[in-house]
């Protein structure tokens, strides 16, 4: 399954991204949250540094969710029987997504609270 052309690599990567969005509920939740954050960023007229922080946070969550999904699929492919080790692997991968989401929420608060306070006339 080796890619012979660079375009094949990109095509495969986009296919994987589409599959994750189409088949994984949590990925759809993350994408929806990202869209809402981007729309809120437009409303708040974020500065370039805040946009950079926002996109880094979004990227962090999406990347960890993709890795988590890949780990879960691989574990399911390797074993169909219950295994405490397989469960631990899945739980650890899910924990990475949780940490990324917590970091993203903290960054989102730092990015959005000041402009929201200004918009509300409280600052």
DSSP-based three-state secondary structure for 4: coil
The Cα 63–Cα 69 span in angstroms is 10
The Cα 9–Cα 49 span in angstroms is 31
The Cα 41–Cα 123 span in angstroms is 18
Q: How far is CA 32 from CA 7, 81, 102, in A?
A: 28, 34, 16
DSSP-based three-state secondary structure for 47: coil
**Residue 12, pLDDT score:** 94
Closest CA to 59 of 29, 101, 23: 101
DSSP state of 121: T
Q: Which of 24, 65, 72, 81 is catalytic?
A: 65
Tens-digit pLDDT string for the chain (123 aa): 676 899 999 999 999 999 999 999 999 999 999 999 999 999 999 999 999 999 999 999 999 999 999 999 999 999 989 999 999 999 999 999 999 999 999 999 999 999 999 999 887
The Cα 57–Cα 25 span in angstroms is 19
The Cα 95–Cα 6 span in angstroms is 33
- Our answer to whether residue 24 is catalytic in this structure is no
Pair of tokens at residue 51: 């946009």
């Amino acid at each position: 399954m080796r890619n012979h052309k660079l375009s094949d690599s990109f095509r495969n990567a986009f296919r994987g991204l589409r599959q994750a969005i189409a088949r994984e509920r949590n990925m759809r939740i993350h994408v929806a949250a990202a869209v809402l954050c981007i729309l809120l960023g437009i409303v708040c007229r974020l500065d370039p540094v805040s946009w950079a922080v926002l996109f880094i946070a979004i990227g962090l969550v999406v990347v960890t969710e993709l890795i988590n999904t890949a780990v879960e699929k691989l574990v399911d492919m390797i074993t169909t029987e219950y295994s405490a080790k397989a469960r631990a692997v899945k739980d650890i991968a899910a924990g990475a997504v949780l940490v990324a989401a917590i970091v993203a929420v903290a960054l989102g608060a730092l990015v959005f609270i000041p402009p929201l306070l200004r918009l509300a006339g409280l600052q």
